[in-house]
Structure 1
Amino acid sequence: MGLAGVVTYDEFSVESAARVAAELRLRGSSPAAAARCRDKRQMRAAFEAAGVASPVSVAATTLAEVTAAAQRTGFPLVLKPVDLAGSIGVVLVRQPNELREAYRRCRASGRAEYGAVSNAILVEEYVEGPEVSVESLVRAGEVQTVAMTRKRLVPPPWFEESGHVVVGGPVPEEIARLAERAQRALGIQWGATHTEIRLGAVGPRVIEVAARPAGDVIPLLVLLATGVDLTVAAAAAAMGRPAPAAREPVAPAAAVRFFSPGKDMVFRSASSEVAAAAPEWLVSFVIEATDGDVLRLPPHGFLDRVGYAIVTGANEAECEQRLDELERSLHISADPIVG
């Protein structure tokens, strides 16, 4: 039996997977489409060419170029590396006097750990408003909208995600159409996708599209709230097999919250009385950090988490209420960082 398909669930492997699929003449988006999804400069150019609503964006390398670009975008603005993920190094700049330090942080953040290869950053118009993502499946260029995820972010100036909620039911038509147009503009042909959108005062704007399933356990939330298994469906698409039938949803809504260390620390242990009682709505409670781990907040550390909890509920509000209860009961033992 030969190789049936190539699929990746990792942002930094999207281009490699596309090249392997093309070399083996298997289903997949083209290497050019994968490159557009990985390089945010190419992504913005594709959106502009196709008339897809997205923030004004200017590529820059030096501080002088960033300063000049800010004249076009205005303040507040966002600086972001062109080829990282997980909101690593993305920073909000509200005033001109913050620009130099924000530029330094953006250029330095996460490069050694996450392998950024470009020195370029994007200077972008800031779209104020709630952030959502659209989770989709693509087969031969046809986009099926599966679910919408509402996002919870850490306080500004950072954009790291601290939680997600998925509620079953149809995605608002305007948002679904915008996500579909964005995917078509990039030339995505096969697999699961993750389209991030800001709901601004002048309408929704596409922030970026990932040519792979969402991270941060969002596929599990989608499965719990809709019955659709995005990870299995992505593999089925790559192999040319029919999409698996949706299961019965576990609950109308599902959510995850990531527990921040709250401050830079040397982690020792953590526990929760609520989690220990194992309520029926608690799907998972995980302490990821281990004794001795050094956890830092942005800009000194990104995605440093104590752990997370996944819950179900009748709606978004009930999920958030249950997560609040869990977080209030969380006891963290830690030491200060010395030196």
Structure 2
Amino acid sequence: MRAEHPMVVLVDAYGTGRHLRAAFAGLGAQVVHLSSTPEPLKSLKAPDLSSYAAALVAADPVETARRLAELRPALVVAGQEPGVPLADLMSEMLGLPTNGSALSAARRDKYLMIEAVRKAGVRCARQFRSDDADAIAAWAGEQDGRPVVVKPLAASGAQGVSICTDPNQARGAARAILGTVTMYGETNTEVLAQSYLAGTEYIVDTVSCRGERYDAGVWRYDKRRRGARNVSHRDVLVPPDDPVVAELTAYTHDVLDALGIEFGAAHAEVMMTPDGPALVEVGARMNGAMHPDFDAGCCGADQARASALAWLRPEEFAEEFAGRTYRRLREAFVYHVATDFAGLVESVDASVLAEIDALESVRAVTVKPSPGDWLRPTVDLPSSPLTVHMAHADAAALARDQARVLALSKEVFQLA
């Protein structure tokens, strides 16, 4: 018998994780927020805690589990990347549906992630980790002149990722990472170097339930080179009948199996190389650009609702989603606007934003910097000042409106 108002605990529902609250509430659940850190992470869009039944802050694991047990929750679910280990541990300790804690570290640490995938016999990059920039340079020098990728162990949004063509570049990239803080508030004490994967990079979004899966979307990265980095320009929705989709999703399912992801959303980045798919990285959480209305209008469903069903109503998920693939109802992409401007944001012009929002192809506009924040030249996703979700039946209309968005974006921020 289904509980009338089951209790769901969301851990760190930053960014797109906030959409899970509405999705669970839509299924009749009461939703509590649990923060894994004493203070909110300033680099991520914070959840509106007033919309939750209660807001808690984690203490030591035993005490946190005791406090949660008093609420008699049906689920403990990660809302964003930093909350994955805590959600895994709490759900396991409370005997709830869980991905378990045994592979939690491999779902966050990119070195452990690739090693788990390699152990399962799934194609992946060569790699090396170290807290010594000279050691990173030495490893790069052993790659027979091939480029290497140097990046943090547990960041997102291409933060700190550099493509290096020689050991000196690798050394410099490692030094630039060591000691810095990721968007998740974690200090980079080590650096990861990997063999460069040549090919076309894709996003593969999924939702799992007891190991059965829904392929929620495949998006092709359209990137632009900015300095030593390839920066996301657009995420372009791929038609589900494109042969590459079946190959990418089958490969991603193998990756999820290797990482023990049996429940909930996952967001994978996969390179289609001449030898086949190879994992860049995967997060046990939703796509960071996921927008429920946009995804439902373009793909037929959104990852938040599918995730809520997978966790809370497995039988309904099985009937509606298991073993199925998204649809492409119209051409669509997520446009990550880049900027070369730098300075303190004095104001944001609401009239310019309204003009962007009124364009025929625009479905949603997300503004990242607020007055008082620093605008900086775009080098990764966090430093893209605008995210614009765009869809239209006519590709020409999309191209026209994208050009207009770019022109108007230069007028959005007034700098002091």
Cα distance, 1:196 vs structure 2: 0.6
**In the alignment, residue 308 of structure 1 is paired with which amino acid?**
T
Cα distance, 1:298 vs structure 2: 5.9
Asked whether 1:207 is paired with 2:283, we answer: no
Partner of 1:322, secondary structure, is helix
Partner of 2:410, secondary structure, is strand
Cα distance, 1:272 vs structure 2: 4.0
Asked whether 1:289 is paired with 2:369, we answer: yes
- Show the counterpart of 1:222: 295
Is the contact made by 2:141 and 2:167 (CA closer than 8 Å) also made in structure 1?
A: no
Asked whether 1:76 is paired with 2:76, we answer: no
Cα distance, 1:245 vs structure 2: 4.4
Asked whether 1:264 is paired with 2:342, we answer: yes
- Show the counterpart of 1:26: 96
Number of residue pairs the alignment of both structures matches: 333
Cα distance, 1:50 vs structure 2: 1.4
Flag the 1:264–1:329 CA change in 2: closer, same or farther, 3 A. Answer: closer
Q: Which of 246, 254, 264 is equivalent to 2:332?
A: 254
TM-score normalised by the chain length of structure 1: 0.86
Is the contact made by 1:135 and 1:213 (CA closer than 8 Å) also made in structure 2?
A: yes
Flag the 1:254–1:322 CA change in 2: closer, same or farther, 3 A. Answer: same
Flag the 1:321–1:7 CA change in 2: closer, same or farther, 3 A. Answer: farther
Deviations 1:233-278 (A, max 9, x none): 21222224322847x9794232221223323222343454993582
Flag the 1:65–1:298 CA change in 2: closer, same or farther, 3 A. Answer: farther
Cα distance, 1:33 vs structure 2: 2.5
Is the contact made by 1:167 and 1:315 (CA closer than 8 Å) also made in structure 2?
A: no
- Show the counterpart of 1:144: 214
**In the alignment, residue 375 of structure 2 is paired with which amino acid?**
L
- Show the counterpart of 2:202: 132
Cα distance, 1:93 vs structure 2: 0.9
Deviations 1:11-50 (A, max 9, x none): 1111111111111111121112322110112111111111
Is the contact made by 1:226 and 1:249 (CA closer than 8 Å) also made in structure 2?
A: yes
**In the alignment, residue 278 of structure 1 is paired with which amino acid?**
A
Cα distance, 1:320 vs structure 2: 4.5
**In the alignment, residue 105 of structure 1 is paired with which amino acid?**
A
Flag the 1:320–1:116 CA change in 2: closer, same or farther, 3 A. Answer: farther
**In the alignment, residue 203 of structure 1 is paired with which amino acid?**
G
- Show the counterpart of 2:30: none
Is the contact made by 1:221 and 1:255 (CA closer than 8 Å) also made in structure 2?
A: no
Cα distance, 1:169 vs structure 2: 2.7
Q: Which of 263, 266, 272 is equivalent to 1:193?
A: 266
Q: Which of 100, 123, 126 is equivalent to 2:193?
A: 123
Is the contact made by 1:168 and 1:226 (CA closer than 8 Å) also made in structure 2?
A: no
Partner of 2:365, secondary structure, is strand
**In the alignment, residue 325 of structure 1 is paired with which amino acid?**
R
**In the alignment, residue 260 of structure 1 is paired with which amino acid?**
A
Flag the 1:320–1:137 CA change in 2: closer, same or farther, 3 A. Answer: farther
Is the contact made by 2:223 and 2:230 (CA closer than 8 Å) also made in structure 1?
A: yes
Distance 1:47 1:179 in 2: 10
- Show the counterpart of 1:310: 389
Distance 1:320 1:182 in 2: 35
Is the contact made by 1:274 and 1:325 (CA closer than 8 Å) also made in structure 2?
A: no
**In the alignment, residue 323 of structure 1 is paired with which amino acid?**
Q
Deviations 1:58-105 (A, max 9, x none): 122212321232134443111111122222111111223322221111
Flag the 1:218–1:45 CA change in 2: closer, same or farther, 3 A. Answer: farther
Q: Which of 116, 123, 148 is equivalent to 1:53?
A: 123
**In the alignment, residue 30 of structure 1 is paired with which amino acid?**
G
Gaps of at least 5 residues in structure 1 are: none
Q: Relative contact order (alpha carbons < 8 A, sep ≥ 6): 1 or 2 greater?
A: 1
- Show the counterpart of 1:39: 109
Partner of 1:7, secondary structure, is strand
Partner of 2:197, secondary structure, is coil
Is the contact made by 1:110 and 1:302 (CA closer than 8 Å) also made in structure 2?
A: no
Flag the 1:306–1:39 CA change in 2: closer, same or farther, 3 A. Answer: closer
**In the alignment, residue 165 of structure 1 is paired with which amino acid?**
V
Cα distance, 1:130 vs structure 2: 2.2
Distance 2:352 2:101 in 1: 46
TM-score normalised by the chain length of structure 2: 0.72
- Show the counterpart of 2:181: 110
Flag the 1:86–1:287 CA change in 2: closer, same or farther, 3 A. Answer: closer
- Show the counterpart of 1:163: 234
Superposed, 1:61-72 pairs within 5 Å as 61-72=131-142
Cα distance, 1:318 vs structure 2: 5.4
**In the alignment, residue 229 of structure 2 is paired with which amino acid?**
W
Gaps of at least 5 residues in structure 2 are: 1-5, 7-71
Distance 1:317 1:12 in 2: 40
